[in-house]
């Protein structure tokens, strides 16, 4: 059975290319520090340079690549400092979100979070890394969602993208 997501906004070619490259960066297919050669990618993806360059700009805005004049585009290297900074930001955001949830009286959401945490712990006990990762992500997302703050969610999504680079390196 094919399930069609109704009302989903169609993605442009640039968004499709950016999504493809983003996944390859996040899953480690394209390594930190690796250069992204326009000519090779335009051939591989069967597209012109314009949408590829726009996709590079999107990824640069997300902090996944750097674009240097006359040097080209490369995947941002990873560093202990960035991991520390991103971890601190996530902790700060989640602490704020939980405080807001408490102010809002979001008891039902707390129960939902407890269930997600139990699910993640169970997956970890079974040594099912993929299930643990998915449950853990849903748990952390639920913390942020409990604040009911769209701006916090938007900023958190940016941090989450950076965290994902490091998490996938650790869990392989």
Please write the tens of the pLDDT for every residue from 114-171: 999 999 999 989 999 889 889 999 999 999 999 999 999 999 998 998 888 887 766 6
Give the per-residue pLDDT at 3.
44
What is d(CA 133, CA 49) in angstroms, rounded to the nearest whole number?
Answer: 36
Supply the DSSP string of 70-96, one letter for each residue. Answer: TTEEEEPPP-HHHHHHHHHHHHHHHHH
Ordered by start, the domain boundaries in the chain are: 13-75, 80-171
The mean per-residue pLDDT over the stretch 68-89 comes to 93
* pTM of the predicted structure, to 2 decimals: 0.76
Residue 81 in this model has a pLDDT that exceeds 80? yes
The structural architecture, per CATH, of the domain 80-171 is Up-down Bundle (1.20)
pLDDT confidence of residue 171: 66
Evaluate whether 13-75 and 80-171 have a shared fold: no
Give the whole-number percent of the chain exceeding pLDDT 90: 73
Q: What is the CA radius of gyration of the chain?
A: 19
pLDDT single digits (tens) 94-104 = 999 999 998 98
CATH of domain 13-75: 1.10.10.10
Tokens matching residue 94: 């989640």
């Amino acid at each position: 059975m094919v399930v069609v997501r109704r009302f989903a906004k169609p993605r442009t070619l640039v968004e499709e290319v950016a999504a493809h490259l983003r996944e390859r960066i996040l899953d480690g297919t394209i390594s930190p520090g690796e250069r992204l050669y326009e000519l090779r990618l335009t051939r591989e993806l069967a597209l012109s340079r314009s949408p590829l360059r726009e996709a590079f700009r999107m990824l640069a805005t997300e902090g996944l690549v750097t674009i240097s004049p006359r040097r080209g585009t490369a995947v941002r290297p990873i560093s202990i400092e960035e991991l520390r900074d991103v971890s601190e930001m996530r902790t700060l955001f989640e602490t704020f979100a939980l405080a807001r949830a408490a102010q809002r009286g979001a008891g039902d959401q707390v129960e939902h979070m407890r269930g997600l945490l139990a699910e993640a712990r169970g997956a970890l006990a079974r040594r099912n890394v993929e299930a643990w990762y998915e449950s853990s992500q849903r748990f952390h997302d639920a913390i942020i969602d409990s604040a009911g703050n769209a701006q916090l969610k938007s900023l958190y999504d940016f941090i989450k993208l950076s965290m994902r680079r490091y998490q996938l390196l650790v869990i392989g």
